Structure 1
Amino acid sequence: MPITAPDYSRYFIDGSSFACGSDLTGTLTVVRVGELSLSSGQVVACDPFVYLGSGDVQPFTVAVEPGRYAVDAAVATLVRPGAESGPHPHTRVAAVRLVIRDVEVAGWELALLPGQDPAELGDEQYFGYGVDAGTGCFYDASAENAFPGTEDEEGAVWAAMESVGHGPDVFMAQGEGGHNLAGFTSGWGDGAYPTWIGRAADGSVACFLTDFFVIPHSAEADALAS
Protein backbone atom coordinates (compact mmCIF):
# COMPACT_ATOMS: atom_id res chain seq x y z
CA MET A 1 0.00 0.00 0.00
CA PRO A 2 1.39 3.46 -0.87
CA ILE A 3 2.32 5.85 1.90
CA THR A 4 -0.63 7.44 3.70
CA ALA A 5 -0.87 10.95 5.09
CA PRO A 6 -0.79 11.58 8.86
CA ASP A 7 -2.96 14.24 10.50
CA TYR A 8 -1.13 17.27 9.12
CA SER A 9 -3.44 19.70 10.88
CA ARG A 10 -1.49 18.98 14.06
CA TYR A 11 1.72 20.12 12.41
CA PHE A 12 0.31 23.63 12.17
CA ILE A 13 -0.54 24.20 15.82
CA ASP A 14 1.97 26.37 17.69
CA GLY A 15 3.52 24.49 20.58
CA SER A 16 2.77 20.97 19.34
CA SER A 17 5.52 18.60 20.43
CA PHE A 18 6.82 15.27 19.18
CA ALA A 19 9.58 12.72 19.63
CA CYS A 20 12.18 12.44 16.89
CA GLY A 21 13.91 9.13 17.39
CA SER A 22 15.11 8.13 20.84
CA ASP A 23 17.18 11.19 21.73
CA LEU A 24 15.49 14.28 20.26
CA THR A 25 12.27 16.10 21.02
CA GLY A 26 10.74 18.80 18.91
CA THR A 27 8.36 21.71 19.32
CA LEU A 28 6.55 23.22 16.36
CA THR A 29 6.10 26.88 15.49
CA VAL A 30 4.02 28.09 12.56
CA VAL A 31 5.90 30.67 10.49
CA ARG A 32 4.29 32.72 7.73
CA VAL A 33 6.59 32.48 4.71
CA GLY A 34 4.61 35.02 2.71
CA GLU A 35 1.90 35.35 0.10
CA LEU A 36 2.40 33.50 -3.18
CA SER A 37 1.04 34.85 -6.45
CA LEU A 38 -0.55 32.17 -8.64
CA SER A 39 -1.32 33.98 -11.87
CA SER A 40 -2.24 30.78 -13.74
CA GLY A 41 -3.29 28.65 -10.75
CA GLN A 42 -0.86 25.90 -11.81
CA VAL A 43 1.36 24.95 -8.87
CA VAL A 44 4.97 23.82 -9.18
CA ALA A 45 7.04 22.35 -6.33
CA CYS A 46 10.75 21.59 -6.76
CA ASP A 47 14.30 22.34 -5.64
CA PRO A 48 14.72 25.82 -7.15
CA PHE A 49 18.51 25.77 -7.15
CA VAL A 50 18.50 22.68 -9.39
CA TYR A 51 15.33 22.82 -11.46
CA LEU A 52 13.97 26.40 -11.62
CA GLY A 53 14.22 27.64 -15.20
CA SER A 54 15.51 24.30 -16.46
CA GLY A 55 12.37 23.33 -18.33
CA ASP A 56 12.50 19.94 -16.60
CA VAL A 57 9.64 20.45 -14.12
CA GLN A 58 5.89 20.40 -14.63
CA PRO A 59 2.99 21.73 -12.58
CA PHE A 60 0.74 19.39 -10.64
CA THR A 61 -2.28 18.04 -12.49
CA VAL A 62 -4.65 19.76 -10.04
CA ALA A 63 -4.89 23.52 -10.57
CA VAL A 64 -6.70 26.20 -8.55
CA GLU A 65 -8.22 29.60 -9.22
CA PRO A 66 -5.58 32.28 -9.89
CA GLY A 67 -4.98 34.51 -6.89
CA ARG A 68 -2.66 35.21 -3.99
CA TYR A 69 -2.37 32.56 -1.31
CA ALA A 70 -0.64 32.31 2.07
CA VAL A 71 2.31 29.97 2.55
CA ASP A 72 3.00 28.69 6.07
CA ALA A 73 5.88 26.59 7.39
CA ALA A 74 5.80 24.23 10.36
CA VAL A 75 9.24 24.84 11.87
CA ALA A 76 10.51 22.32 14.40
CA THR A 77 12.89 23.39 17.16
CA LEU A 78 14.83 20.27 18.17
CA VAL A 79 16.53 19.67 21.50
CA ARG A 80 18.41 16.79 23.06
CA PRO A 81 17.33 16.40 26.70
CA GLY A 82 20.15 17.36 29.04
CA ALA A 83 22.31 18.92 26.34
CA GLU A 84 23.50 22.50 26.64
CA SER A 85 21.76 24.93 24.32
CA GLY A 86 23.84 26.95 21.87
CA PRO A 87 23.41 30.59 20.85
CA HIS A 88 21.00 29.62 18.08
CA PRO A 89 18.24 27.00 18.30
CA HIS A 90 18.43 23.91 16.12
CA THR A 91 15.50 24.31 13.72
CA ARG A 92 14.28 22.27 10.77
CA VAL A 93 11.41 22.96 8.39
CA ALA A 94 9.10 19.99 8.94
CA ALA A 95 6.39 20.82 6.41
CA VAL A 96 5.15 23.71 4.30
CA ARG A 97 1.62 24.34 3.09
CA LEU A 98 0.18 26.58 0.42
CA VAL A 99 -3.23 27.56 1.79
CA ILE A 100 -5.91 27.79 -0.88
CA ARG A 101 -8.86 27.79 1.51
CA ASP A 102 -8.52 28.20 5.28
CA VAL A 103 -10.85 25.32 6.11
CA GLU A 104 -10.57 21.93 7.77
CA VAL A 105 -9.06 19.23 5.58
CA ALA A 106 -11.31 16.18 5.21
CA GLY A 107 -8.89 14.04 3.19
CA TRP A 108 -5.46 13.91 1.57
CA GLU A 109 -4.26 12.75 -1.83
CA LEU A 110 -0.82 12.77 -3.40
CA ALA A 111 -0.21 15.70 -5.73
CA LEU A 112 0.62 14.18 -9.10
CA LEU A 113 2.47 15.19 -12.23
CA PRO A 114 1.20 14.24 -15.70
CA GLY A 115 1.67 10.51 -16.28
CA GLN A 116 1.91 9.53 -12.63
CA ASP A 117 -0.50 6.81 -11.47
CA PRO A 118 -0.81 5.99 -7.73
CA ALA A 119 -1.91 2.46 -8.68
CA GLU A 120 1.67 1.78 -9.74
CA LEU A 121 3.10 2.54 -6.29
CA GLY A 122 4.27 -0.27 -4.07
CA ASP A 123 4.26 -0.63 -0.29
CA GLU A 124 5.14 2.69 1.43
CA GLN A 125 6.11 4.28 -1.88
CA TYR A 126 5.13 7.77 -3.00
CA PHE A 127 5.64 10.30 -5.76
CA GLY A 128 7.71 13.29 -4.72
CA TYR A 129 10.24 15.79 -5.98
CA GLY A 130 13.96 15.38 -5.66
CA VAL A 131 16.07 17.79 -3.61
CA ASP A 132 19.80 18.05 -4.31
CA ALA A 133 20.53 21.51 -2.87
CA GLY A 134 18.69 21.24 0.45
CA THR A 135 15.83 23.53 -0.59
CA GLY A 136 12.24 23.27 -1.80
CA CYS A 137 9.77 25.82 -3.10
CA PHE A 138 6.34 26.62 -4.48
CA TYR A 139 5.75 28.87 -7.48
CA ASP A 140 3.28 29.37 -10.31
CA ALA A 141 4.06 27.59 -13.58
CA SER A 142 4.06 30.93 -15.41
CA ALA A 143 7.02 32.06 -13.24
CA GLU A 144 9.36 29.39 -14.62
CA ASN A 145 11.57 31.94 -16.39
CA ALA A 146 11.07 34.87 -14.01
CA PHE A 147 14.25 34.24 -11.98
CA PRO A 148 17.22 34.47 -14.36
CA GLY A 149 20.61 33.63 -12.93
CA THR A 150 19.43 30.98 -10.49
CA GLU A 151 21.34 28.23 -12.28
CA ASP A 152 24.49 30.37 -12.06
CA GLU A 153 24.18 30.87 -8.29
CA GLU A 154 23.01 34.46 -8.59
CA GLY A 155 19.78 36.40 -8.87
CA ALA A 156 16.71 36.90 -6.69
CA VAL A 157 16.34 33.39 -5.27
CA TRP A 158 19.95 33.18 -4.10
CA ALA A 159 19.78 36.69 -2.63
CA ALA A 160 16.57 35.89 -0.74
CA MET A 161 18.02 32.66 0.66
CA GLU A 162 21.24 34.34 1.76
CA SER A 163 19.32 37.07 3.58
CA VAL A 164 17.72 34.64 6.02
CA GLY A 165 20.57 34.73 8.54
CA HIS A 166 19.82 32.85 11.75
CA GLY A 167 16.04 33.01 11.40
CA PRO A 168 13.83 30.17 10.20
CA ASP A 169 15.11 29.05 6.81
CA VAL A 170 12.16 30.31 4.78
CA PHE A 171 12.07 33.16 2.27
CA MET A 172 10.13 34.92 -0.48
CA ALA A 173 11.93 35.78 -3.71
CA GLN A 174 10.62 38.47 -6.04
CA GLY A 175 11.07 37.72 -9.73
CA GLU A 176 10.42 39.50 -12.99
CA GLY A 177 6.94 40.39 -14.21
CA GLY A 178 5.38 40.47 -10.74
CA HIS A 179 6.09 36.78 -10.11
CA ASN A 180 7.35 35.47 -6.79
CA LEU A 181 8.51 32.23 -5.20
CA ALA A 182 8.15 30.77 -1.70
CA GLY A 183 11.31 28.91 -0.67
CA PHE A 184 12.34 26.87 2.36
CA THR A 185 15.01 24.44 3.47
CA SER A 186 14.03 20.79 3.16
CA GLY A 187 14.00 19.21 6.59
CA TRP A 188 17.18 17.17 7.05
CA GLY A 189 18.40 18.10 3.56
CA ASP A 190 18.56 16.25 0.26
CA GLY A 191 16.12 13.49 -0.60
CA ALA A 192 12.73 13.02 -2.24
CA TYR A 193 9.64 14.53 -0.64
CA PRO A 194 5.92 14.13 -1.33
CA THR A 195 3.47 16.95 -1.80
CA TRP A 196 -0.10 16.30 -0.74
CA ILE A 197 -3.36 17.96 -1.71
CA GLY A 198 -5.71 18.53 1.19
CA ARG A 199 -9.37 18.61 0.23
CA ALA A 200 -12.26 20.13 2.14
CA ALA A 201 -15.45 18.19 2.85
CA ASP A 202 -17.01 19.55 -0.35
CA GLY A 203 -14.10 18.25 -2.44
CA SER A 204 -12.51 21.62 -3.13
CA VAL A 205 -8.76 22.11 -2.71
CA ALA A 206 -7.86 23.44 0.72
CA CYS A 207 -4.07 23.31 0.45
CA PHE A 208 -0.92 21.85 -1.06
CA LEU A 209 1.51 20.52 1.56
CA THR A 210 5.06 19.22 1.27
CA ASP A 211 6.25 16.91 4.04
CA PHE A 212 9.99 16.85 4.78
CA PHE A 213 9.81 13.84 7.14
CA VAL A 214 11.21 15.60 10.20
CA ILE A 215 8.27 14.25 12.18
CA PRO A 216 8.13 10.44 12.09
CA HIS A 217 5.05 8.86 10.55
CA SER A 218 4.46 6.60 13.52
CA ALA A 219 2.81 6.44 16.92
CA GLU A 220 5.25 9.21 17.93
CA ALA A 221 3.71 11.52 15.35
CA ASP A 222 0.26 10.60 16.59
CA ALA A 223 1.35 11.82 20.02
CA LEU A 224 1.59 15.42 18.79
CA ALA A 225 -0.23 17.60 21.28
CA SER A 226 -0.82 21.29 21.63
Structure 2
Amino acid sequence: MPMPAPDFSWHFTPGRTFTEDDSGTAGTLRVVGGGELWLPTGRVIACDPFVALGAGEAEPFTAEVAPGRYRVEAAVATLVREEGEPEPDTPHLRVAAARLVIRDAPAVSWELALQAGQALGDLDDEEFFGYGVDAGTGCFYDAGCDGSFPDCQGDEGPLWDAFDTVPPTPGPHTVTDPTTGHNLVAFTSGWGDGVYPTWIGRDEAGAITCFVTDFFVVPAEALVS
Protein backbone atom coordinates (compact mmCIF):
# COMPACT_ATOMS: atom_id res chain seq x y z
CA MET A 1 0.00 0.00 0.00
CA PRO A 2 1.19 3.58 -0.63
CA MET A 3 2.32 5.65 2.32
CA PRO A 4 -0.65 6.38 4.60
CA ALA A 5 -1.45 9.98 5.50
CA PRO A 6 -1.29 11.26 9.05
CA ASP A 7 -4.11 13.39 10.39
CA PHE A 8 -2.71 16.82 9.65
CA SER A 9 -4.99 18.50 12.16
CA TRP A 10 -2.24 17.45 14.62
CA HIS A 11 0.33 19.60 12.82
CA PHE A 12 -1.99 22.62 12.78
CA THR A 13 -2.91 22.51 16.46
CA PRO A 14 -0.74 25.19 18.13
CA GLY A 15 1.25 23.98 21.09
CA ARG A 16 1.70 20.39 19.94
CA THR A 17 5.10 19.04 20.94
CA PHE A 18 7.30 16.20 19.72
CA THR A 19 10.76 14.77 20.27
CA GLU A 20 13.20 13.28 17.78
CA ASP A 21 14.20 9.92 19.22
CA ASP A 22 17.59 9.83 17.50
CA SER A 23 18.76 13.35 18.28
CA GLY A 24 16.74 14.20 21.37
CA THR A 25 15.68 17.46 19.71
CA ALA A 26 12.30 18.70 20.97
CA GLY A 27 9.89 20.74 18.88
CA THR A 28 6.83 22.88 19.54
CA LEU A 29 4.43 23.76 16.75
CA ARG A 30 2.69 27.03 15.98
CA VAL A 31 0.62 28.12 13.00
CA VAL A 32 1.93 31.03 10.92
CA GLY A 33 -0.36 32.73 8.42
CA GLY A 34 0.79 33.47 4.89
CA GLY A 35 -2.05 35.59 3.55
CA GLU A 36 -4.34 34.64 0.69
CA LEU A 37 -3.45 32.80 -2.49
CA TRP A 38 -5.41 33.76 -5.59
CA LEU A 39 -6.46 30.76 -7.66
CA PRO A 40 -7.95 32.25 -10.85
CA THR A 41 -8.40 28.79 -12.43
CA GLY A 42 -8.60 26.59 -9.33
CA ARG A 43 -5.78 24.35 -10.57
CA VAL A 44 -3.24 24.06 -7.79
CA ILE A 45 0.51 23.62 -8.27
CA ALA A 46 2.94 22.76 -5.48
CA CYS A 47 6.65 22.85 -6.28
CA ASP A 48 10.08 24.26 -5.48
CA PRO A 49 9.69 27.74 -7.00
CA PHE A 50 13.43 28.35 -7.36
CA VAL A 51 13.63 25.25 -9.59
CA ALA A 52 10.30 24.87 -11.35
CA LEU A 53 8.67 28.30 -11.49
CA GLY A 54 8.15 29.39 -15.07
CA ALA A 55 10.05 26.38 -16.44
CA GLY A 56 6.90 24.65 -17.68
CA GLU A 57 7.80 21.58 -15.65
CA ALA A 58 5.39 21.86 -12.71
CA GLU A 59 2.04 20.20 -13.36
CA PRO A 60 -1.18 21.04 -11.51
CA PHE A 61 -2.95 18.45 -9.43
CA THR A 62 -5.87 16.67 -11.06
CA ALA A 63 -8.17 17.67 -8.18
CA GLU A 64 -9.47 21.19 -8.88
CA VAL A 65 -11.32 23.69 -6.71
CA ALA A 66 -13.52 26.68 -7.44
CA PRO A 67 -11.58 29.79 -8.45
CA GLY A 68 -11.15 32.15 -5.54
CA ARG A 69 -8.83 33.37 -2.83
CA TYR A 70 -7.75 30.94 -0.15
CA ARG A 71 -5.52 31.33 2.86
CA VAL A 72 -2.16 29.63 3.22
CA GLU A 73 -0.56 28.80 6.54
CA ALA A 74 2.42 26.87 7.79
CA ALA A 75 2.92 24.64 10.81
CA VAL A 76 6.27 25.94 12.04
CA ALA A 77 8.28 23.98 14.58
CA THR A 78 10.53 25.74 17.05
CA LEU A 79 13.28 23.25 17.87
CA VAL A 80 15.26 23.02 21.10
CA ARG A 81 18.46 21.02 21.24
CA GLU A 82 19.18 18.13 23.54
CA GLU A 83 19.84 19.16 27.13
CA GLY A 84 23.41 20.30 27.66
CA GLU A 85 24.01 21.51 24.11
CA PRO A 86 24.37 25.27 23.48
CA GLU A 87 21.36 27.06 22.06
CA PRO A 88 21.70 29.21 18.90
CA ASP A 89 21.38 32.98 19.04
CA THR A 90 18.14 32.85 17.03
CA PRO A 91 15.31 30.29 17.28
CA HIS A 92 15.75 27.16 15.18
CA LEU A 93 12.63 27.15 13.01
CA ARG A 94 11.50 24.53 10.51
CA VAL A 95 8.31 24.35 8.44
CA ALA A 96 6.76 21.01 9.30
CA ALA A 97 3.86 21.32 6.86
CA ALA A 98 2.23 23.93 4.63
CA ARG A 99 -1.52 24.11 4.10
CA LEU A 100 -3.73 25.73 1.48
CA VAL A 101 -7.14 26.00 3.14
CA ILE A 102 -10.11 25.67 0.80
CA ARG A 103 -12.85 25.49 3.42
CA ASP A 104 -12.90 25.63 7.21
CA ALA A 105 -14.23 22.17 7.86
CA PRO A 106 -12.59 19.15 9.48
CA ALA A 107 -10.92 16.75 7.09
CA VAL A 108 -12.19 13.21 7.72
CA SER A 109 -10.17 11.55 4.95
CA TRP A 110 -6.86 12.12 3.20
CA GLU A 111 -5.58 11.19 -0.23
CA LEU A 112 -2.39 11.85 -2.17
CA ALA A 113 -2.64 14.80 -4.53
CA LEU A 114 -1.98 13.37 -7.99
CA GLN A 115 -0.86 14.85 -11.27
CA ALA A 116 -2.02 13.64 -14.68
CA GLY A 117 -0.61 10.19 -15.43
CA GLN A 118 -0.06 9.26 -11.78
CA ALA A 119 -1.97 6.34 -10.26
CA LEU A 120 -1.91 5.01 -6.71
CA GLY A 121 -1.69 1.49 -8.10
CA ASP A 122 1.79 2.26 -9.38
CA LEU A 123 3.12 2.77 -5.85
CA ASP A 124 4.71 0.09 -3.70
CA ASP A 125 4.48 -0.08 0.08
CA GLU A 126 5.29 3.23 1.80
CA GLU A 127 5.90 4.98 -1.54
CA PHE A 128 4.34 8.31 -2.50
CA PHE A 129 4.22 10.87 -5.28
CA GLY A 130 5.71 14.24 -4.42
CA TYR A 131 7.66 17.16 -5.77
CA GLY A 132 11.40 17.43 -5.73
CA VAL A 133 13.11 20.21 -3.80
CA ASP A 134 16.62 21.31 -4.75
CA ALA A 135 16.65 24.81 -3.26
CA GLY A 136 15.16 24.16 0.16
CA THR A 137 11.84 25.80 -0.71
CA GLY A 138 8.26 24.91 -1.59
CA CYS A 139 5.22 26.91 -2.66
CA PHE A 140 1.60 26.92 -3.81
CA TYR A 141 0.31 28.81 -6.82
CA ASP A 142 -2.27 28.57 -9.60
CA ALA A 143 -1.44 26.88 -12.89
CA GLY A 144 -2.79 29.88 -14.76
CA CYS A 145 -0.10 32.06 -13.14
CA ASP A 146 2.93 30.02 -14.18
CA GLY A 147 4.32 32.68 -16.51
CA SER A 148 3.63 35.60 -14.20
CA PHE A 149 6.89 35.71 -12.25
CA PRO A 150 9.81 36.20 -14.66
CA ASP A 151 11.57 38.40 -12.11
CA CYS A 152 11.69 35.41 -9.74
CA GLN A 153 13.73 33.28 -12.11
CA GLY A 154 17.48 33.44 -11.67
CA ASP A 155 19.69 34.39 -8.76
CA GLU A 156 17.89 37.56 -7.68
CA GLY A 157 14.45 39.13 -7.62
CA PRO A 158 11.41 39.35 -5.33
CA LEU A 159 11.38 35.67 -4.42
CA TRP A 160 14.94 35.90 -3.14
CA ASP A 161 14.10 39.17 -1.39
CA ALA A 162 11.16 37.55 0.42
CA PHE A 163 13.46 35.12 2.19
CA ASP A 164 16.25 37.65 2.76
CA THR A 165 15.08 38.82 6.16
CA VAL A 166 16.98 39.56 9.37
CA PRO A 167 16.63 37.37 11.27
CA PRO A 168 15.77 34.83 8.54
CA THR A 169 12.26 33.44 8.69
CA PRO A 170 10.96 30.26 7.04
CA GLY A 171 7.75 31.85 5.75
CA PRO A 172 5.15 31.68 4.45
CA HIS A 173 6.09 34.57 2.15
CA THR A 174 3.79 36.00 -0.51
CA VAL A 175 5.14 37.22 -3.84
CA THR A 176 2.74 39.17 -6.08
CA ASP A 177 3.09 40.23 -9.71
CA PRO A 178 2.13 43.93 -9.69
CA THR A 179 0.82 43.81 -13.25
CA THR A 180 -1.59 40.88 -13.04
CA GLY A 181 -2.08 40.49 -9.31
CA HIS A 182 -1.12 36.84 -9.63
CA ASN A 183 0.66 35.59 -6.54
CA LEU A 184 2.40 32.63 -4.97
CA VAL A 185 3.04 31.70 -1.37
CA ALA A 186 6.43 30.16 -0.60
CA PHE A 187 8.06 28.64 2.48
CA THR A 188 11.16 26.69 3.41
CA SER A 189 10.90 22.92 3.08
CA GLY A 190 11.45 21.30 6.44
CA TRP A 191 15.02 20.02 6.66
CA GLY A 192 15.77 21.15 3.10
CA ASP A 193 16.12 19.28 -0.17
CA GLY A 194 14.25 16.06 -0.85
CA VAL A 195 10.92 14.85 -2.21
CA TYR A 196 7.73 15.78 -0.38
CA PRO A 197 4.11 14.64 -0.81
CA THR A 198 1.07 16.86 -0.95
CA TRP A 199 -2.16 15.50 0.48
CA ILE A 200 -5.79 16.46 -0.07
CA GLY A 201 -8.18 16.58 2.86
CA ARG A 202 -11.89 15.98 2.31
CA ASP A 203 -14.88 16.57 4.56
CA GLU A 204 -17.76 14.20 5.29
CA ALA A 205 -19.45 15.14 2.01
CA GLY A 206 -16.28 14.49 0.00
CA ALA A 207 -15.56 18.16 -0.66
CA ILE A 208 -11.94 19.33 -0.63
CA THR A 209 -11.01 21.14 2.57
CA CYS A 210 -7.28 21.67 2.01
CA PHE A 211 -4.02 20.76 0.32
CA VAL A 212 -1.17 19.97 2.73
CA THR A 213 2.50 19.42 1.88
CA ASP A 214 4.28 17.37 4.52
CA PHE A 215 7.98 18.11 5.07
CA PHE A 216 8.58 15.18 7.44
CA VAL A 217 9.73 17.29 10.38
CA VAL A 218 7.29 15.67 12.82
CA PRO A 219 8.29 12.04 13.45
CA ALA A 220 5.63 9.44 12.76
CA GLU A 221 5.79 8.21 16.36
CA ALA A 222 4.51 11.57 17.63
CA LEU A 223 1.39 11.29 15.49
CA VAL A 224 0.27 8.02 17.05
CA SER A 225 1.12 8.85 20.64
* Pairwise TM-score range, normalised by the shorter structure: over 0.9
Q: Which amino acid aligns with 1:14?
A: P
**Secondary structure of the residue that 1:149 maps to in structure 2?**
helix
> Shift of residue 150 of structure 1?
2.5
Task: Normalising by structure 1, report the TM-score.
Answer: 0.94
> Shift of residue 222 of structure 1?
2.1
**Secondary structure of the residue that 1:9 maps to in structure 2?**
coil
Superposed CA RMSD: 1.3
Q: Which amino acid aligns with 2:11?
A: Y
- For 2:173 and 2:104, the matched residues in 1 are separated by 21
Task: Normalising by structure 2, report the TM-score.
Answer: 0.95
Out of 139, 143, 168, which is 1:141 matched to? 143
Out of 191, 207, 217, which is 1:214 matched to? 217
The answer (yes or no) to whether the contact 2:90–2:167 under 8 Å persists in 1 is no
- For 2:25 and 2:163, the matched residues in 1 are separated by 27
Q: Can you give the 5+ residue segments of structure 1 that lack an aligned partner in the other structure?
A: none
Alignment of 1:14-163 (within 5 A): 14-22=14-22, 23-82=24-83, 83-163=85-165
In the alignment of these two chains, the number of paired residues is 222
- For 2:87 and 2:182, the matched residues in 1 are separated by 40
Q: Can you give the 5+ residue segments of structure 2 that lack an aligned partner in the other structure?
A: none
After superposition, the Cα gap between the structure-2 partners of 1:49 and 1:103, relative to the gap in structure 1 and judged at 3 Å, is same
The answer (yes or no) to whether the contact 1:93–1:187 under 8 Å persists in 2 is yes
> Shift of residue 164 of structure 1?
6.5
- For 1:169 and 1:88, the matched residues in 2 are separated by 15
The answer (yes or no) to whether the contact 1:20–1:214 under 8 Å persists in 2 is no
- For 2:40 and 2:64, the matched residues in 1 are separated by 11
- For 2:157 and 2:52, the matched residues in 1 are separated by 15
The answer (yes or no) to whether the contact 1:61–1:111 under 8 Å persists in 2 is yes
Comparing 205-214 and 17-26, the one that deviates more: 17-26
Q: Which amino acid aligns with 2:157?
A: G
The answer (yes or no) to whether the contact 1:88–1:166 under 8 Å persists in 2 is no
The answer (yes or no) to whether the contact 2:38–2:70 under 8 Å persists in 1 is yes
**Secondary structure of the residue that 1:88 maps to in structure 2?**
coil
The answer (yes or no) to whether the contact 1:147–1:157 under 8 Å persists in 2 is no
Q: Which amino acid aligns with 2:134?
A: D
- Residue-by-residue CA offset, 1:59-94 (whole Å, 9 max, x unaligned): 100110011101010000111232332221111000
